[in-house]
Structure 1
Amino acid sequence: MSPVRRLLVRALPLLLSVLLAGCGTPAVRDAAEQDVREAVAAWSRTPPAQLAGIPLEGWAYEVSAVRRDGAQATARAELHYRLTGYDFAPAGSAREVRLSRDGGRWRVTGDRAAPGAPPQLWDQGPVEVLRGAHALVLGVGQSAQTLAEIGAEADRAVPAVSAAWPGPWAGRVVVLVPGSLERMAELLGRPAAEYRGMGAVTTGRVGAAAAPADRVFVNPQGWAELSAAGRGVVLTHEVSHVATRAATTARTPLWLSEGFADWAAYRGGTTTPQQAAPALTRAVRRGELPAALPADEAFAFGADPEALARAYEGAWLACRLIAAKWGDAALVRLYERAGRQPLATALEETIGGDPPGLTQAWQAGLRQELDAPRGVSSK
């Protein structure tokens, strides 16, 4: 046997042992770490007392890492839970659980959002719960009257959205009302400046077969500045996003998703285009007719408020035009198809047109409806 072959034969058992150690069962955790994990599991079997009244199910902490320092320990974990009757899939939250060893046993002493992760509503204080016919409202630091008003608007918004969107959806909504704009921004993990002036926003995963864990967040400062009619429009707009979530994908143009939500909100009302689109009306009267339907980047949070308003108003008027000229059902079919195929194909199959033709019809509508003197109808 050659020296090289002899070396390989001798090394083979060692090599095999290394490979087996790397791809076999994981190393056994030490007893102290296992005790920490078991303490978190036992503690998390029951939701905290401050969550009493919130309909919870599937409450569980999945520990991913443990760090010990003498009689203190910290466990990184992912919290999973569902709001009974509202969530089709678990909501998730990265958490940091603190423990101390007392009398030889580990005991949980605290639980908070993991560093860099947004908090949950209950991290901000005691949660008030209001159940409506179609909405679950959870609030912190709000009066009972405010929560009741928001709940009533949400209960009106849900059937209005169902009338506009005949596609399948849950027909109910969860509304979170934190104590301030800054508190809302904390929950969303974004700067407060991005939401200043907004009445509400919606979160959720697009393109899901059954939209899971959608949440409508109300900005209490923006909400207080709205008229009664404005509050109805805002909540119906946000609930529309919840209803259309399963049909919405990254391919869906934002002018269509935002415009449809506003169309559902204004549908059946008496608000005129000049009243609902003041920024775009001013631009058209200055001779600044938009050259194209609003691009996705025009809807970015934190954009110039006037430009952002023109984008939303133009999107609404585009959807309003489609519904008026080709019918409500055509607008709904366009929405459903635009999330699965190119916009040009979706337009051809639903209204028999193309993007340039729709743009030209939209521009003509803007001239007709916005350039007329205020108070003069131009149907």
Structure 2
Amino acid sequence: MLPGPRAVRALPLLLCLCLLAAGCGGGRPPAAAAERAVRQAVVHWSARPPGRLAGLPLEGWSYEVLSVRRDGPRASVRARLDYRLTGYDAAPAGGERELALAEDGGGWQVRSDRPAPGALPQLWDQGPVEAVRGERALVLGAAGRGDLAAVAAEADRAVPAVSAAWPRPWAGRVVVLVPGSLEAMAELLGRPADAYRGLGAVTTGRVGSAPAPADRVVVNPEGYAALSAEGRRVVLTHEATHVATRVATTATTPLWLSEGFADWAAYRGTPTTPAQGAPALAREVRRGALPAALPGTEAFAFGGDPQALARAYEGAWLACRLVADRWGEEALADLYGRAGREAWPTALEGSLGMDPDAFTRAWQEALRAQLG
């Protein structure tokens, strides 16, 4: 049926309204065009790292825009930052960021860049960063610290010690972060400062990635400074071992094996005796309190009883020491690799030819003989 005269007169008005809704002349809607301009501004702005990072060996610096919220001449962007440290990172590091932009006569400009809500900060979010390069280590620390070169030298010594203990392919280099304080360290890791009080360092990174993820050894400047020279060597070798074994570590790897292997690598080749390296556990064994089982995951939680935590680490170290002494260092490395691929009983049978109960009894006998 043909439209009547009134309907015909309404058609031009309706057509005009449709064109306006579509963005006059058939173009993109104004909101979509503005969002596109915001995204383009982020691309242009992120083409090079900030000037305060000029001393860092960065590559692949880029922001992937995840969402845009616009409120008139202001916008908030959530983006994913990815970057690599040249020669050190096999996979990207980074995190989610929140960028604030403002529109002026010249277009959209980024005004601030900070960690997104719920995301961890980067070291440079805490202030200027200084880089010290060693032969096998890159140390990034709060600018003005006088200990970065010494940390780099110790890390350089730790790397070959790790390679000797872990005869498997790994990068053979580490990145060490030295924040300005214990509180700054805790902020980087997203936990309360008390969780790290008294510790020398920890290692970050995903588990079970291939290629190896961007691990970082994060130093507690207060705890590290309180250590002896030997203590600092042990701590950095322990943490560098976690970096080396990361690709072989999965959710099936017992935590005692991961921590014990790292301590074994740190003490390997030193004259440290079981009684010297495990004083807390030795006191328990001497009073007849022999552990009933290998340390569980909960035994390694930070922030609890420091003596219980010490006994867990010491028992794990002596378990790995037992394997290396009785079955050989290659058997220990093989056990570690199998434990990341197989159930623990299967890995133990394949590497040592025994079941978990028999291994626990052998460990207990070794504790009694070495510490009792």
Is TM (by shorter chain) over 0.5? yes
CA drift of 1:213 comes to 0.5
CA distance in 1, matches of 2:319, 2:47: 51
Task: Give, as a single letter, the amino acid of the residue that structure 2 aligns with 1:47.
Answer: P
Which residue in 2 is equivalent to 1:41? Answer: 43
CA contact (8 A) 1:142 1:179 kept: no
CA drift of 1:173 comes to 0.5
Task: Give, as a single letter, the amino acid of the residue that structure 2 aligns with 1:152.
Answer: A
Q: CA 1:28–1:261 in 2, change beyond 3 Å: closer, same or farther?
A: farther
CA distance in 2, matches of 1:210, 1:242: 12
1:148-171 superposed Cα distances (whole Å, 9 cap, x missing partner): 111011000000000000111000
Which of 57, 60, 63 in structure 2 is aligned with 1:61? 63
CA distance in 2, matches of 1:115, 1:337: 39
Which residue in 2 is equivalent to 1:248? Answer: 249
CA drift of 1:116 comes to 1.8
Which of 127, 130, 153 in structure 1 is aligned with 2:129? 127
Is residue 348 of structure 2 the alignment partner of residue 321 of structure 1?
no
Task: Give, as a single letter, the amino acid of the residue that structure 1 aligns with 2:313.
Answer: Y
Task: Give, as a single letter, the amino acid of the residue that structure 1 aligns with 2:148.
Answer: L
Task: Give, as a single letter, the amino acid of the residue that structure 2 aligns with 1:295.
Answer: G
CA distance in 2, matches of 1:254, 1:141: 35
Alignment of 1:193-232 (within 5 A): 193-232=194-233
CA drift of 1:325 comes to 0.5
Is residue 161 of structure 2 the alignment partner of residue 155 of structure 1?
no
Task: Give, as a single letter, the amino acid of the residue that structure 1 aligns with 2:204.
Answer: T
CA distance in 1, matches of 2:252, 2:144: 38
CA drift of 1:73 comes to 1.5
Give the match's secondary structure for 2:239. Answer: helix
Give the match's secondary structure for 2:160. Answer: helix
CA drift of 1:205 comes to 1.2
Task: Give, as a single letter, the amino acid of the residue that structure 2 aligns with 1:369.
Answer: Q
CA contact (8 A) 1:142 1:178 kept: no
CA distance in 1, matches of 2:206, 2:32: 38
Q: CA 1:226–1:142 in 2, change beyond 3 Å: closer, same or farther?
A: farther
Gaps of 5+ in 1: 1-26, 372-379
Which of 64, 71, 78 in structure 1 is aligned with 2:80? 78
Residue correspondences, number: 345
CA distance in 2, matches of 1:132, 1:369: 39
CA drift of 1:367 comes to 1.1
The normalised TM-score by structure 1 is: 0.89
Is residue 110 of structure 2 the alignment partner of residue 99 of structure 1?
no
CA distance in 1, matches of 2:284, 2:30: 68
CA drift of 1:69 comes to 2.2
CA contact (8 A) 1:129 1:136 kept: yes
Task: Give, as a single letter, the amino acid of the residue that structure 2 aligns with 1:122.
Answer: W
Task: Give, as a single letter, the amino acid of the residue that structure 2 aligns with 1:171.
Answer: G
Q: CA 1:29–1:208 in 2, change beyond 3 Å: closer, same or farther?
A: farther
Gaps of 5+ in 2: 1-28
Is residue 269 of structure 2 the alignment partner of residue 268 of structure 1?
yes
Task: Give, as a single letter, the amino acid of the residue that structure 2 aligns with 1:90.
Answer: P
CA distance in 1, matches of 2:312, 2:87: 35
CA drift of 1:32 comes to 1.2
1:10-30 superposed Cα distances (whole Å, 9 cap, x missing partner): xxxxxxxxxxxxxxxxx9961
Which residue in 2 is equivalent to 1:172? Answer: 173
Is residue 339 of structure 2 the alignment partner of residue 342 of structure 1?
no
CA distance in 1, matches of 2:325, 2:211: 30
State the 4+ residue runs in structure 1 displaced beyond 4 angstroms: none
Task: Give, as a single letter, the amino acid of the residue that structure 1 aligns with 2:129.
Answer: V
1:167-225 superposed Cα distances (whole Å, 9 cap, x missing partner): 11000000000001110111111111111111000011111122110100000011011
Q: CA 1:141–1:304 in 2, change beyond 3 Å: closer, same or farther?
A: farther
Which residue in 1 is equivalent to 2:113? Answer: 111
CA drift of 1:147 comes to 0.5
Task: Give, as a single letter, the amino acid of the residue that structure 2 aligns with 1:260.
Answer: F
CA distance in 1, matches of 2:143, 2:83: 23
CA distance in 1, matches of 2:214, 2:200: 20
CA drift of 1:303 comes to 2.4
Which residue in 2 is equivalent to 1:52? Answer: 54
CA distance in 1, matches of 2:231, 2:32: 59
CA drift of 1:142 comes to 4.8
The normalised TM-score by structure 2 is: 0.90
Give the match's secondary structure for 1:39. Answer: helix
CA distance in 1, matches of 2:360, 2:253: 17
CA distance in 2, matches of 1:104, 1:229: 59
Give the match's secondary structure for 1:211. Answer: coil
What is the identity percentage for the equivalent residue pairs of Structure 1 and Structure 2?
70
CA distance in 2, matches of 1:142, 1:290: 46
1:77-102 superposed Cα distances (whole Å, 9 cap, x missing partner): 11111111111111121101111112
Which residue in 1 is equivalent to 2:193? Answer: 192
Task: Give, as a single letter, the amino acid of the residue that structure 2 aligns with 1:217.
Answer: V
Aligned CA RMSD, in angstroms, stands at: 1.4
Task: Give, as a single letter, the amino acid of the residue that structure 2 aligns with 1:302.
Answer: G
CA distance in 2, matches of 1:187, 1:271: 33
Give the match's secondary structure for 1:244. Answer: helix
Which residue in 1 is equivalent to 2:236? Answer: 235
CA distance in 1, matches of 2:315, 2:164: 23
